[in-house]
Amino acid sequence: MTRAERIAALKAASRERILVLDGSWGVMIQKRGLDEADYRGDRFAGHPGQLKGNNDLLCITRPDIITELHDAYFGAGADISETNTFSATTIAQADYGLEAAVRDINLEGARLARASADRWTAAEPHKPRFVAGSIGPLNKMLSMSPDVNDPGARSVTFKEVYQAYREQVIALNEGGVDLYLVETITDTLNCKAAIKAILDLEDEGYEPLPIWISGTITDRSGRTLSGQTVEAFWNSVRHARPFAIGLNCALGADLMRPHIAELSRVADTLVSAYPNAGLPNAMGEYDEQPHETGHSLHQWAEDGIVNIVGGCCGTTPEHIAHVARAVQGLSPRKPAERPRAMRLSGLEPLELS
């Protein structure tokens, strides 16, 4: 299939059924018990500083592990698998001194996911598999100061954030992803820089790809870390005309549900949800069992508030297998239809009819 054919197939599938995303990557990589040598490989054997924990680097140094994880999630029933590029920007990789490796990490991450998806599609043509280019948050924010004594201070500029995301999305596009997934958004202004980087590519001759945007509600306040409510966040990014809008991470299904319901009420596009496997315990581990995650997302699907479901921190291929079975045969949510109005956003939404 050409990429245009895959995108058409993705959109067609989203109208017919609830799509399933993969689960956590971090927890699955941690289970491998990898050491420093695994992260370094031959290419980075002499690199200064510790590289262990830089999971994105495994796209280059342990591609076998990344391929196995894509295959495990597709085998569990996922329609979409993310590239292992959550932190593959020059800003995030600066912590490891690996800014020069960013393009290669994204290219290899996209190619590994593409190869796995194509193998599964060839084996099961009735269920095509798709690749989402994972574009994660940064360790620096445009909306908030890193210095409590200087609210106006910033450790990064919009241009720098834009350029970091631009390098990533170009490599993901060239590597063969089917759509971009700007995810775990804590700072909406950072997200806007990513959106601009994506949209600008279309003016430069790159093939336009669907955009999926997923924010993070950080606690019971119902707001992102930069202070926005769910509806205000949607108003802030709606101009990108995303293929899907959703929430992931930070919360388990029980705490995330009211915010997904609110997003479902206001969004005129697909709504996605991939919660954590509950909240972490005192040891930082996730105790929610696969059948529990599956049951929660089954209820959401029955209530007609989701189009795409999956798992975030703590979820495994077993969780995704339960989720896939739980939503099988249930109809996808119909996008909201709202009267025409001017809808603005700050920390709160503002509607002028």
Question: Given the DSSP bridges, would you call strands 349-352 and 342-345 parallel, antiparallel or unpaired?
Answer: antiparallel
End-to-end Cα separation, the chain, in angstroms: 45
Q: Give the three-class secondary structure for 246.
A: strand
Contacts of 344 (CB under 8 A, 6+ apart): 235, 350, 351, 352
Q: Give the three-class secondary structure for 215.
A: strand
Q: Residues annotated in the binding site, as ranges?
A: 249, 312-313
Nearest to 137 by CA among 197, 199, 172, 87: 87
Cα–chain center distance at 191: 12
Contact status, residue 169 vs residue 135, Cβ threshold 8 Å: yes
Dihedral sign (CA 37, 41, 47, 52) = negative
Q: Residues annotated in the binding site for Zn(2+), as ranges?
A: 249, 312-313
CA distance 161 to 138: 9
CA distance 162 to 150: 24
- Kindly report the backbone phi and psi dihedral angles of residue 146, in degrees, each rounded to the nearest multiple of 5, phi listed first: -80, -5
Alpha helices in the chain (DSSP H): 3-16, 26-30, 36-40, 58-61, 63-76, 90-93, 102-123, 158-175, 188-202, 230-237, 253-266, 290-302, 317-327
Question: Given the DSSP bridges, would you call strands 244-252 and 211-215 parallel, antiparallel or unpaired?
Answer: parallel
